[in-house]
Structure 1
Amino acid sequence: MVKEPQSEATRELGVRVRKLREPQGIGQEELARRAGVHWTFVSQLERGLRNVSLHNLLKFAAGLGVDPAELVRGLKPPED
């Protein structure tokens, strides 16, 4: 069973994280270590399956060495 992203925003956040991680030559496990999370969290985030808290968003930004705004700029909330 293939799981779908929680929303367009979570999908796009995952795409952004992957696009920032890969050029740095770091894998999901290394990003997880840098961010202080489990590697499965990184995998789920990159597939849009996790809606991250503010604290985890800040951890990912720090692990990637970017301003947190770079991860969320322009994202729209899901329509109910």
Structure 2
Amino acid sequence: MPAEYKPPLNPTLEAFGARIRARRNELGLSQEAAAEQIGVHWTYLGQIERGQRSARVENIVRLAAGLGIAPGQLLDGLPVGDD
């Protein structure tokens, strides 16, 4: 594991990021192309996908719209952490 590896902040963000990545891959988009389509910076999208950053409600809506899905599809059934 590289020295600069930064783990996900918690299981909720890790699962949320995995859903974002899965949808992006479903659409056949690179992080850069998806970020442009969503309207965010590609480094922000990468942090979200790795569970290293928590998205604000406004950005969850933006992510969902840019990926062509409902926000609920990104949120329903996520694990709830104790932190």
- TM-score category, normalised to shorter length: over 0.9
Which of 51, 54, 65 is matched with 1:51 structurally?
54
Report 1:34-49 matches (<5 A): 34-49=37-52
User: Runs (4+) of structure 1 moved beyond 3 Å?
Assistant: none
Structure 2 unmatched ranges of 5 or more: none
* Separation (CA, whole Å) in 2 of partners of 1:6 and 1:35: 23
The CA deviation at 1:77 is 3.2
- Say if 2:15 and 2:79, in contact at 8 Å, map to a contact too: no
Q: Which of 10, 15, 18 is residue 21 of structure 2 equivalent to?
A: 18
Equivalent in the alignment of 2:65:
62
Structure 1: gaps (5+ residues): none
Letter of the 1:77 counterpart: V
